[in-house]
Amino acid sequence: MKGLLEYCRGNSFLHSCNPLIKIAAAFIMCVGCFMCSSLIYVLCVIGITLIAGYSAGVGGKVLKIFTSLLKLGFILLLLQIFFISEGHVLISLPFGIRVTAEGLHFCVLLALRIAGATLPLALMLMVTKMSDISGALVKKLHVPYKYAFAITTALRFIPVFADEMNGIIEAQTARGVEFDTKNPIKKISLMLPLCVPLLVSSVKRIEDSSTSALLRGFSLRTYKSGVKTYPFHLRDAALLSVAAVTSACGLLIGILI
Amino acid sequence: MIELSNVAFGYAEGPVINNLNLQLEKGSFTAITGGNGAGKTTMVKLISGLLKPTSGCVRLCGTDTRELKAKNRAKLCGFLFQNPDRQICKTSVYDEIGFSLSCIGIAGGEADKIIRETAEMLELDTKSEPFSLSKGERQKVALASVLAANPEILILDEPTTGLDYRECMRIMKIVADLNNSGTTVIMVSHDMEIVADFAKRVIVFEGGKIILDGDCRSVLTDERLRCISSVLPPQAAVLGQKLGGRFSGLFTTEEIISDCILQSQCRMHNA
Ligand SMILES: Nc1ncnc2c1ncn2[C@@H]1O[C@H](COP(=O)(O)OP(=O)(O)O)[C@@H](O)[C@H]1O
Ligand SMILES: [Mg+2]
């Protein structure tokens, strides 16, 4: 997963939209997935997100996230499928375990919904700079800078910590810790001691960045501070309408079915 | 002892090292220097077996690093990282050194003995808490946990950056002693004065390639070294070259001073 959610530079349609609109559009798409229980509709949402991803030049990454979400969904599916025993029986296994058509439909829908609801948000993170998200939140919605900063910093530090963790694993491998064991319990017990150096370095890093933020007048910021403005354009209306129409379709199909 | 043949390596962003050939003898002390991002760390990680080459092969004592298990590799080759904090994961120096030993399968009374000996050698208090120590002390704790395994090869990645002169000399003294008793040492360093004082062989690395390679004197007094913008030759070597004549082959302050003293004694004797 390393680096998958990181910002990718570009100047596509999606890149140039207003950050707030992008967040809103992504959320509307997510909500749409839960409005309607048609598999085809959820597949359509995923399709639209993939196309949007390719148009912004990050299609490969979106696809990668999609496949890893599907794997996760598949595990959930296996867990669920045997516990829904109502409806038309497709396969009958020993010990009274039955796979039913309803169960299968419910589980596949759940797996796809998870993907459909996550992908638009992931795509949004890939085409929007963290500083722009916090900037727009502060400028347009007058969210106090303190909170906007905290959220975006937390997200920004994920890849930094992932890097740090890789370095720590490397350093411990050099001492002879065998990480490539197949046994997951053993692996977790090997990873636990590594949390200490990670914690220490994180606390140090956070202390450093808070000091440097304070020195640069962090506490003096208001929503009027900042050079960048985030005006709305026609393209933002277009993006929002695409998202709104998609979700509306979902709602409509949901009511009709 | 250490043999790299046609080694190539790259990260996801692109190749870093192309077609590298190198041999290091047992008991040698090799310094590797070069600009930031030249690929020095990558190269020593390849040597230690932490990274596996994409093509070619690295052999340690005749074994391909791809076939070495983590435990055996740790016994063979110790690696001191640029950042000691990545290595330290226990809350006391005693446990920290002990953890290294348990990784390679030494425990009980034998481990206790080794821990005390190593701590004594590096003048460390076994009860102190690593994270509350100074950078130099933490570097020493990390070094202690590497040395406890008694590796045949010792790799140091910029061991002296960020240390004051005294701490720096203390660490180098220990490393030099180990080298004298037969440990093969490979050290990445920007500090040419340290390199001049301790290394026997110097390799200058730039853009993933070896540009200069030879014994310490020949590399440090090489005219070409002054043309590499990222490396500053030791002051004494520059002075020796400026003075020319019999000074041009000298590269440490002691050499120049003793040469001058010798000359003036000769003159006094003749007069
Ligand atoms: N973990 C990594 N992932 C991707 N690229 C890396 C990684 N580590 C180093 N690099 C790249 O490899 C090149 C050589 O790095 P490095 O070996 O650390 O150089 P040096 O130690 O000589 O300063 C640099 O361009 C660096 O950006
Ligand atoms: Mg380095």
pLDDT tens across B120-132, in order? 988 899 899 988 8
| Cα gap B102→A187, rounded to integer Å | 16
Name the minimum distance, in Å, from the CA of B21 to any CA of chain A.
23
Cα(B47)–Cα(B66) distance, rounded to whole angstroms? 11
Pair (A240, A131) in one structural domain? yes
Instruction: Say whether residue B129 is in contact with chain A using an 8 A CB cutoff.
Output: no
Tell me how far apart the alpha carbons of residues A61 and B7 are, in angstroms, rounded to a whole number.
31
Identify the pLDDT of residue B94.
Answer: 93
User: Are the C-beta atoms of A242 and A32 separated by less than 8 Å?
Assistant: no
Q: Is pLDDT at B156 greater than 80 in this prediction?
A: yes
Ranges under pLDDT 50 in chain A: 1
For range B87-108, the mean pLDDT: 89
| pLDDT recorded at residue B53 | 92
Helices (H), chain A: 13-16, 19-35, 39-55, 59-81, 101-127, 130-141, 145-174, 184-191, 195-215, 234-256
Whole-model pTM: value is: 0.77
Structure tokens at A133: 């998200």
Residue B113 above 90 pLDDT? yes
Does A112 lie in the same domain as A160? no
What is the C-alpha radius of gyration for chain A, rounded to an integer number of angstroms? 22
- The answer to whether A213 and A150 are in contact (CB under 8 A) is no
Neighbours of A71 (CB within 10 A): 9
DSSP state of A142: -
Residue closest by Cα to atom 3 of ligand 1: B11
Name the residue range of residue A108's domain.
Answer: 1-142+227-257
Ligand 1: residue whose CA is nearest its atom 18: B41
Ligand 1 within 6 A of CB of B231: no
For the CA of B35, the nearest atom of ligand 1: 22
Which architecture characterizes domain B2-223 according to CATH? 3-Layer(aba) Sandwich (3.40)
Pocket test for ligand 1, best of B9, B11, B20 (most atoms within 8 A of CB): B11
Q: Are residues A153 and A214 in the same domain?
A: yes
- What's the pLDDT score for residue A241? 92
Alpha-carbon gap, residue B189 to B234, rounded angstroms: 13
CA–CA gap between residue A27 and residue A31 (Å, rounded)? 6
* Domain tally, chain A: 2
Q: Give the model's pLDDT for residue A96.
A: 66
Domain boundaries in chain B?
Answer: 2-223, 234-271
Grouping H, G, I as helix, E, B as strand and the rest as coil, residue B64 is: strand
Residues B198-212 pLDDT 10s: 999 999 988 888 999
pLDDT (0 to 100) of residue A1: 44
Q: Which helix (H) or strand (E) holds B60?
A: strand B55-60
* Residue A11 tokens, joined: 């100047």
Give yes or no: residues A96 and A152 share one domain. no
Q: Name chain B contacts of A196, Cβ cutoff 8 Å.
A: 89-91
Tell me: do A89 and A118 sit in the same domain. Answer: yes
Instruction: Return the DSSP state at B224.
Output: G
- At residue A84, the 3 state secondary structure works out as coil
Average pLDDT over residues B45-55: 92
Beta bridge partners, B10, equal: B15
Q: Is A178 on the interface with B (CB under 8 A)?
A: yes
B125-to-A2, A95, A193 alpha-carbon distances in Å: 39, 63, 22
Question: Using a 6 Å cutoff on CB, does residue B45 contact ligand 1?
Answer: no
Q: Which residues of chain A are within 8 Å of residue B81 when distances are taken between CB atoms?
A: 167, 171, 174
pLDDT, residue B90, reads 87
A134 and A26 share a domain? Answer: yes
d(CA A193, nearest CA chain B) in Å:
6
Same domain, A218 and A232: no
For the record, the structure tokens of B147 come out as 């040395």
A153 and A133 together in one domain: no
Query: Cβ A193–B90 below 8 Å, yes or no?
Result: yes
Distances (CA, A) of A152 to A133, A134, A149, B49: 8, 6, 5, 38
Residue contact B100–A175, C-beta within 8 A = yes
ipTM of the complex: 0.84
Closest CA to ligand 1's atom 5: B11
